Amino acid sequence: MLDTLTFGFLGGGNMASALIGGLVSRGVPASAIRVVDPFDDARQRLARTLGVQTLAAPDAAFGASDVIVLAVKPQQFRDAVASLAPLLKNNLIISVAAGIRLQDMQRWMGTTRLVRAMPNTPALAGMGMTGLAAAAGLSDDDRAIATSVAEAVGQCVWVEDDGQIDAVTAISGSGPAYVFYFVEAMERAATEMGLSAEQGRKLAVETFRGAAALAAESPEPVSTLRERVTSKGGTTYAALTSMDASGIKDAFVRAMHAAAARGREMGAEFGKD
Ligand SMILES: NC(=O)c1ccc[n+]([C@@H]2O[C@H](COP(=O)([O-])OP(=O)(O)OC[C@H]3O[C@@H](n4cnc5c(N)ncnc54)[C@H](OP(=O)(O)O)[C@@H]3O)[C@@H](O)[C@H]2O)c1
């Protein structure tokens, strides 16, 4: 389905590069992709590594792309879409910008063919998890296109409304950092117990990879998987009892509420005019 469409990317940074790489690997011809980035180095890198057409500013052909992906930083978003809006031709717009609400994009661009996406950095390794929210009235065809774009770099879930994207941000958007945080703790514990940092990193990273694969393929609740490695009085039991005594799970849940609250604040901040 994607290979018949033309794509315009506003912003040619990390997330745009991951998505473009995914689209090209799914059969979208590089010649069907135009990327706008004001930074000369970024344009040269994109043209060299992905073979796409690059521009310093949007032009009429860019504004006529079937699908336009907005992939600039939230702070750059307002200015970037101001120059794009007059060129739009009722295209499907997919924004990956953190914290920018659908209602504000609708106001700034005067369109309702809009999807707000929240990917995460594993998209760079083709294993992204993206939450998607549609503007009211989006057609099934447009939903299918947005699904295929997100699936070019991993998997996706649709949520009911824009507000739930703050929850997606708190769970999977910021989530890779939580995993890295726990890997850091496991690495530290490993070195404190006499292993090398390299051994600690490998043990921790592969444990996350393996446990995630097991959870993904198992129909059972993760609590059952956890209980299965926690025999009473054993080593895992000692570790989890220590975590419970320190209130780790509650603190972790609170942390994600803090992330969602910050997402709501950022939405209000970026969309105030
Ligand atoms: N990376 C992630 O994990 C992640 C996850 C979820 C969502 N996102 C969202 O994805 C968006 C892009 O993130 P990123 O990590 O890819 O950022 P990035 O690497 O900084 O990419 C943004 C690019 O857009 C360019 N740009 C700035 N102003 C522009 C304009 N007016 N027109 C066109 N391009 C312009 C920037 O150029 P300069 O460098 O010259 O400013 C930069 O190359 C952000 O809104 C972020 O919130 C990222």
CATH number assigned to the domain comprising residue 49: 3.40.50.720
- Give 77 Cα–ligand 1 centroid separation in angstroms: 9
| pLDDT, position 93 | 98
Has residue 33 been placed in a domain?
yes
Q: Both 19 and 146 in a single domain?
A: yes
Residues of the chain with pLDDT under 70: none
Q: Answer whether 76 contacts ligand 1 (Cβ < 6 A).
A: yes
Domain extent for 34: 2-162
Has residue 170 been placed in a domain?
no
CATH number assigned to the domain comprising residue 189: 1.10.3730.10
Q: Answer whether 119 contacts ligand 1 (Cβ < 6 A).
A: yes
| pLDDT, position 140 | 98
Has residue 227 been placed in a domain?
yes
The C-alpha atoms of residue 190 and residue 228 are separated, in whole angstroms, by 23
Q: Answer whether 176 contacts ligand 1 (Cβ < 6 A).
A: no
Q: Both 154 and 22 in a single domain?
A: yes
Has residue 133 been placed in a domain?
yes
How many structural domains comprise the chain?
2
Widest distance between CA atoms in the chain: 69
Q: Both 257 and 209 in a single domain?
A: yes
Has residue 168 been placed in a domain?
no
Among 45, 52, 76, 127, residue to substitute to test ligand 1 (most atoms within 8 Å of Cβ): 76
| pLDDT, position 272 | 84
This prediction's pTM: 0.94
| pLDDT, position 273 | 77
Q: How many H helices and E strands in the chain?
A: 12, 8
Q: Give the SS3 label for residue 93.
A: strand
